[in-house]
Amino acid sequence: MLKVNFENSTINEEERRVFAEQLKSAHEQLHNGTGEGADFLGWLNLRIQDDELNQIKVAANKIKEISDVLIVIGIGGSYLGARAVIDALSKNFGDKKVLFAGNNLSADYLNDLIDYIDDKRVCLNVISKSGTTIEPAISFKILREYMEKKYGEDEAKERIFVTTDKERGVLKEIANQKGYETFVVPDDIGGRYSVFTAVGLLPIAAAGIDIDKLLAGVYAAEERFASLENNPCYEYAVVRNALYKQGKKIELLVNYEPRLHYISEWWKQLYGESEGKDLKGIFPASVDYTTDLHSMGQYVQDGERHLFETVLDVQAPNRDIVLEADENAIDKLGYLNGKTMNEANHSAMQGTVIAHMNGNVPNLLLQIDKLDEENIGELLYFFEKACGISGYILGVNPFNQPGVEAYKKEMFRLLGK
């Protein structure tokens, strides 16, 4: 179960109380659907129906059976959630069951991917609400042609799964015409909040992760973080707004487990798109420690004081390593004798919190006991809800992303669309 510790946030009870009215209002806007963007609150009290869940599981089992590799074609919220959950719950090394495409416009990336899958059995899952987003549209076109050439049109049809609008759009039309199995991107859930819908669940299940347990974590979190009072999720939203008000313009999401890297990428989209508008918003950045203590660590310790850290602490690894001193101790690691690697990792973490606090970097701590489905489900829901609340406190619509259209408009003009 997620625990929060904001003792080192530098924000005291009184500074939090300043936000009491705004918090209450944000809570009501979210729960009564009276705030801006209220058409996109489907994630708040999500329940995946049994028939949909079953369809996802059947498709995932089929994918596992008939393929070595599932290529997920999608960008932004259409891939980040799945990637974050799969990475967090998979081994650090080894062949990956799920690969990602359609999230860039690099010809080399797509060509290299096609080389790589040449001797492998392949399935595709293309994910796009409209089907017109250029990155997945191009990659799907090329990979669809590849599949039809490799397997013939009939077998390709069995290997292509489409997640899109329930009735409209280019991708839905293609699926209808070709006879692909389809899954629904709900109308009332935006991309960055879609990880626990078919958008995320199909690839996650195909990667061998237990989506029942994942959803159990989400549903428990909905209960746990429902009320206005004593809500750790709301505390996080308030504390970060208080820090922003004090000039802390950058939030660094910190982890000490490499597998959490994409949780941070997912979190950056969630907070960046939700709050980065109307010329305001905390700039969301991330570091992987202790790796980046030997990179960004110098800046965090001694650079410009416009940042704070939110640390994800996983208390136990899946398998620890006990360190035993050499007989002749040539490596001078005797001080670690009998300690575990996880103890060293946590000493680094605790030492870093102390050092950065001494350097005037406020530290927020989020703890989970281990990386499993329930904890990841809870953690992601915690961030989702805190983000909605935080955006309302900030005074923005946390559920739109008008700025994302600006580059598309210019790009389509240049491409003569």
Q: Which of 132, 148, 151, 224 binds its own copies (CB under 8 A)?
A: 132
CA dist., res. 19 & res. 127, Å (int): 39
> Is 294 one of the catalytic residues?
yes
Q: Does residue 92 interact with its own copies by CB under 8 A?
A: yes
C-beta of residue 201 within 8 angstroms of C-beta of residue 86: no
Q: Does residue 327 interact with its own copies by CB under 8 A?
A: no
Q: Does residue 412 interact with its own copies by CB under 8 A?
A: yes
- Region from 34-42, 59-67, 182-190, 285-293 binding its own copies, contact rule CB under 8 A: 285-293
Sequence-separated (6 or more) residues with CB below 8 Å from residue 253:
263, 264, 267, 268, 284, 285, 286, 287, 309, 310, 312
Q: What tokens does 312 get?
A: 């994800």
> Is 408 one of the catalytic residues?
yes
Q: Which of 62, 97, 157, 249 binds its own copies (CB under 8 A)?
A: 249
Q: Which of 102, 388, 120 is nearest to 231 (CA)?
A: 388
Identify which of residues 48 and 207 has a Cβ nearer to its own copies in the complex.
Answer: 207
> In whole angstroms, how close is the CB of 12 to its own copies at the nearest point?
24
Q: Does residue 276 interact with its own copies by CB under 8 A?
A: yes
Cα angle 61-86-384, degrees, rounded to a multiple of 5: 115
- Please pick, among 235, 273, 374, 378, the residue that the annotation labels catalytic: 273
In this structure, the strands spanning 363-368 and 181-184 are: unpaired
Angle between helices 80-88 and 373-394 (to 10 degrees): 140
Identify which of residues 1 and 411 has a Cβ nearer to its own copies in the complex.
Answer: 411
Q: What tokens does 332 get?
A: 């001078």
Q: Does residue 216 interact with its own copies by CB under 8 A?
A: no
* Start-to-end Cα distance in the chain: 50
Touching its own copies, residues 344-363 (CB under 8 A): 344-345, 347-348, 350-352, 354-356, 358-359
Q: Which SS3 state, helix, strand or coil, does residue 43 take?
A: coil
Q: Does residue 61 interact with its own copies by CB under 8 A?
A: no
Q: Which of 220, 265, 367, 372 binds its own copies (CB under 8 A)?
A: 265
Q: Does residue 49 interact with its own copies by CB under 8 A?
A: no
> In whole angstroms, how close is the CB of 191 to its own copies at the nearest point?
8
CA dist., res. 225 & res. 43, Å (int): 13
CA dist., res. 201 & res. 3, Å (int): 25
Touching its own copies, residues 146-185 (CB under 8 A): 170, 173-174, 177
- Region from 14-22, 86-94, 156-164, 226-234 binding its own copies, contact rule CB under 8 A: 86-94
Identify which of residues 142 and 366 has a Cβ nearer to its own copies in the complex.
Answer: 142
Q: Which of 14, 49, 229, 279 binds its own copies (CB under 8 A)?
A: 279
The side-by-side arrangement of strands in the sheet containing 160-164 is 98-101, 69-73, 122-127, 160-164, 181-184
> In whole angstroms, how close is the CB of 335 to its own copies at the nearest point?
4
Q: Which of 21, 65, 154, 407 binds its own copies (CB under 8 A)?
A: 407
Residue 38's identity, in one-letter code, is: A
Q: Is 340 exposed, middle or buried (0-12, 13-18, 19+ CB in 10 A)?
A: middle
Q: Which of 87, 165, 273, 309 binds its own copies (CB under 8 A)?
A: 273
Q: Does residue 247 interact with its own copies by CB under 8 A?
A: no
Q: Does residue 232 interact with its own copies by CB under 8 A?
A: no
Q: Does residue 288 interact with its own copies by CB under 8 A?
A: yes
Q: Does residue 88 interact with its own copies by CB under 8 A?
A: no
Computed on alpha carbons and rounded to an integer, the radius of gyration of the chain in Å comes to 23
Q: Which of 165, 107, 102, 112 is nearest to 137 (CA)?
A: 102
Residue 309 phi, psi dihedral angles, 5° rounding: -120, 140
Q: Does residue 367 interact with its own copies by CB under 8 A?
A: no
- Which residues form the catalytic set? 273, 294, 408
